[in-house]
């Protein structure tokens, strides 16, 4: 059937109109995608003249400068966006990535931490949390090296009152299968002592990085002079150093010393012994003995919190301890198997489940923990792309741009962040927690939160 000339004309007219309805924003985005950054910059600069308050244009300008590797300008525009829309998750992530590329770890950590707060329900939040932990670990390694250089010059960080460093337990047994308890018991002790609000407890990762630089991380027994030295380098006022030995095939003996860095006074806790299945009860008793030795008073709430146990299953805990050690060694595949075994043995072991989730994410995307910021670019950009909503419907002409941008901004404001939180960037710090020693396990959310706070605490002689 032949089409009438008028119909053909109408079709061609409609096609021409359709091809001509790209908004300036869409044109700039196309140019950005084709890496024609200068042309995109010209269009966006004109758009900004038409609407100087548009977060969409400001964000796109920041992205263009980021792609051009003009990081200072990118930071300028991203900060302008956040001044207008503090919970814009995509911009926060780009800002963190730019800071990484500038090797500004502190600012990158602040940015990624801020993202986890404004996007609590983001399906890709896990990747950013893991990247955040990797950055903190990288920073701790750098600070450990700086501390050793300063020590060689006779310079130590200022000791902070009520700061406690918990060293790895010594394995005095002849049973190598108990070796993972060195780190596992330390992890438990740090977790419990962190429940006391009047104490500032050095996180295990920070202490481990320092021991690595001292080439002492894998020693089964740390000599009596190393603990005070490590405490000084960490700025701790007190150092707790534990010891365990096997009494029989299934028995354990636990004890600990508390060293005062300034006075060199060393106090011994009462030794505790019992079968392996009573390890958690003994560990809680050891925590309270340490607090009594340090003359630290606690509230009923803090005591109740310490009494909570991550698991009642000794074998599940041993599997978790093996996982910790394997993560420290960088063997994430084997660590995943260990944490998986811990969860199988005790499905309520939420801390093991949380760590297993982290390890599985790392195994799927190893670049997310790379020390090189360039390796993180693809991962972070993928997170941004997965959460950025579709742009608004196109309009025609530069004069219509402000309304179109307002519509896009409304979409971003409504849909980009699932549940916006506080607008300001919160400092990354380990909040005071509570302590206890009973048989109740923590809820998965509480345990995950507590462990995460410890793992990203970055305060070090600042």
Q: What is the pLDDT of residue 119?
A: 81
Percent of the chain with pLDDT over 70: 77
What is the per-residue pLDDT for 455?
Answer: 32
Residue 250 DSSP label: S
Sign of CA dihedral 326, 332, 333, 336: positive
Element (H, E) at 281: helix 279-293
pLDDT tens, position by position, 114-141: 998 988 777 778 888 888 888 888 888 8
DSSP lists the bridge partners of residue 290 as none
Mean pLDDT confidence for 298-321: 95
The tokens 């949380």 sit on which residue?
354
Between the CA of residue 379 and those of 47, 73, 137, what are the distances in Å? 30, 23, 18
Structure tokens at 369: 């923990």
Could you report the per-residue pLDDT of 233-265, keeping only the tens digit for each? Answer: 888 989 998 899 987 777 899 999 898 888 888
pLDDT average, residue stretch 411-430: 33
Per the model's pLDDT, the better-predicted residue between 461 and 101 turns out to be: 101
Helix or strand or coil: residue 53? coil
* Residue 462 pLDDT exceeds 60: no
**Nearest CA-CA partner of 286 in 205, 360, 188:** 188
Look at the block and give the residue holding tokens 């960080």: 157
Q: Distances in Å between the alpha carbon of 267 and those of 161, 242, 292?
A: 17, 12, 11
Q: Which residue has the higher pLDDT, 343 or 209?
A: 343
pLDDT of 172 over the 50 cut: yes
Backbone angles phi, psi at 331, to 5 degrees: -95, 80
Average the pLDDT over 28-47 and give the result.
Answer: 92
From the list 166, 66, 194, the residue with the least C-alpha distance to 452 is 194
Distance CA 252, CA 246 (A): 5
The answer for residues whose C-beta is within 8 angstroms of residue 122's C-beta and 6 or more apart is: 89, 128, 387, 417, 418
For the residues 69-87, what does the mean pLDDT come to?
A: 95
DSSP code, position 133: H
- Does 98 have pLDDT greater than 80? yes
Is it the case that residue 87 has pLDDT exceeding 70? Answer: yes
On whether the CB atoms of residues 328 and 183 are closer than 8 A, the answer is yes
Q: How far apart, in whole angstroms, are the C-alpha atoms of residue 96 and residue 105?
A: 9
Secondary structure of residue 142 in the 3-state scheme:
helix
Which tens digit of pLDDT belongs to each residue from 182-230? Answer: 999 999 999 999 999 999 999 888 888 888 888 776 665 566 667 788 8
| pLDDT tens per residue across span 437-455 | 344 444 433 333 333 332 3
The per-residue pLDDT for 17 is 45
- Please tell me the predicted confidence (pLDDT) of residue 364: 83
- Cβ pair 259, 231 in contact under 8 A: yes
| Domain range 156-309+428-462, its CATH number among 3.40.50.10070, 1.10.287.1080, 3.50.30.30, 3.40.50.360 | 3.40.50.10070
Cβ atoms of residues 416 and 117 within 8 Å? no
Nearest alpha carbon to residue 417 among 129, 110, 88, 112: 88
| Number of neighbouring beta carbons within 10 Å of residue 348 | 17
Instruction: Supply angle C-alpha 386, 392, 397, rounded to 5.
Output: 135
Residue with tokens 């940015």: 111
**Position 356 pLDDT exceeds 90:** yes
More confident residue, 399 or 348: 348
The span from the CA of 19 to the CA of 28, in Å, is: 15
State the Cα–Cα distance between residues 389 and 410, nearest whole angstrom.
11
Segment holding 245, helix H or strand E: strand 236-246
d(CA 22, CA 315): 63
Q: Which residue has the higher pLDDT, 459 or 96?
A: 96
Specify the length of the chain in residues: 462
Split at pLDDT 50, 70, 90, the class of 409 is very low
> What average pLDDT does this structure show over 299-313?
95
Structure-token pair, residue 36:
């024609």
Q: Which residues pair with 260 in a beta bridge?
A: 238
The phi-psi region of residue 300 (left if phi > 0; otherwise alpha if psi is between -120 and 50; otherwise beta) is: alpha
Quickly tell me which residue has 């260990």 as its tokens: 338
- Least confident range of 19-33, 85-99, 353-367, 388-402: 388-402
Q: State the pLDDT at residue 444.
A: 39
d(CA 194, CA 164): 10
pLDDT band at 5 (very low <50, low <70, confident <90, very high): low
Of 228-232, 279-283, 304-308, least confident by mean pLDDT is 228-232
What number is the average pLDDT over the span 285-289?
94
Going from N- to C-terminal start, the domains of the chain cover 20-155+376-421, 156-309+428-462, 312-363
Distance between alpha carbon 327 and the CA centroid of its chain, in Å?
15
* Residue 83: per-residue pLDDT: 95
The reported pLDDT for the residue numbered 425 is 39
Q: Mean pLDDT across the chain, nearest whole number?
A: 78
Other Cβ atoms less than 10 A from the Cβ of 28: the count is 26
Q: State the pLDDT at residue 217.
A: 62
Please report, to the nearest 10 degrees, the dihedral formed by the alpha carbons of residues 139, 365, 450, 280 taken in order. Answer: -110
CA 147 to chain centre: 23
Domain formed by 20-155+376-421, architecture: Alpha Horseshoe (1.25)
Residue ranges of alpha helices (H) inside 225-274 are 226-234
Residue 418 has pLDDT above 60, yes or no: no
Q: Which position has the token pair 């742009």?
A: 391
Distance of alpha carbon 448 from alpha carbon 429, whole angstroms: 16
* 146: confidence class by pLDDT, cuts 50, 70, 90: confident
Q: What angle do CA 294, 299, 302 make, to 5 degrees?
A: 85
């Amino acid at each position: 059937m032949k089409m009438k000339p008028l119909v053909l004309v109408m079709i061609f007219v409609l096609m021409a109109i359709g091809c001509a309805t790209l908004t300036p924003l869409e044109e700039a985005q196309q140019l950005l995608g084709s890496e024609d950054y200068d042309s995109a910059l010209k269009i966006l600069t004109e758009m900004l003249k038409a609407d100087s308050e548009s977060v969409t244009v400001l964000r796109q300008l920041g992205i263009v400068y980021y792609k051009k590797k003009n990081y200072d300008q990118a930071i300028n525009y991203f900060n302008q966006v956040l001044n207008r829309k503090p919970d814009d998750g995509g911009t926060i992530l780009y800002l963190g990535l730019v800071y990484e590329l500038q090797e500004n770890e502190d600012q990158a950590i602040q940015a990624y931490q801020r993202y986890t707060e404004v996007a609590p329900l983001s399906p890709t939040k896990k990747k950013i949390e893991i990247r955040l932990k990797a950055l903190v670990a990288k920073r701790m390694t750098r600070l450990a090296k700086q501390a050793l250089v300063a020590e060689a010059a006779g310079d130590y960080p200022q000791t902070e009152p009520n700061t406690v460093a918990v060293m790895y337990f010594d394995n005095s047994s002849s049973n190598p299968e108990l070796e993972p308890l060195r780190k596992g018991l330390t992890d438990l002790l740090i977790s419990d002592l962190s429940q006391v609000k009047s104490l500032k407890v050095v996180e295990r990762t920070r202490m481990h990085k320092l021991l690595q630089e001292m080439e002492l991380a894998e020693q089964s027994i740390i000599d009596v002079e190393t603990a005070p030295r490590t405490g000084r380098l960490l700025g701790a006022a007190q150092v707790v150093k534990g010891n365990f030995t096997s009494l029989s095939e299934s028995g354990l003996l636990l004890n600990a010393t508390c060293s005062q860095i300034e006075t060199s006074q060393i106090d011994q806790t009462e030794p505790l012994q019992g079968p392996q299945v009573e390890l958690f009860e003994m560990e809680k008793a050891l925590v309270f003995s340490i607090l009594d030795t340090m003359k630290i008073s606690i509230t009923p709430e803090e005591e109740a919190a310490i009494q909570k146990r991550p698991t009642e299953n000794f074998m599940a805990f041993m599997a978790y301890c093996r996982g910790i050690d394997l993560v420290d060694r960088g063997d994430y595949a084997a660590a995943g198997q260990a944490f998986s075994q811990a969860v199988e043995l005790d499905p309520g072991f939420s801390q093991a489940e949380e760590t297993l989730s982290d390890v599985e994410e790392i195994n799927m995307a190893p670049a997310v923990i790379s020390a090189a910021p360039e390796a993180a670019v693809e991962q972070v950009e993928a997170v941004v792309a997965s959460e950025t909503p579709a742009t608004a419907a196109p309009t025609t002409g530069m004069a219509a741009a402000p309304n179109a941008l307002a519509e896009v901004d409304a979409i971003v404001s409504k849909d980009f962040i699932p549940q916006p939180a506080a607008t300001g960037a919160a400092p990354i710090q380990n909040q005071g927690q509570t302590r206890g020693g009973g048989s109740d396990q923590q809820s998965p959310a509480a345990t995950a939160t507590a462990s995460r706070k410890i793992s990203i605490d970055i305060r070090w002689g600042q």
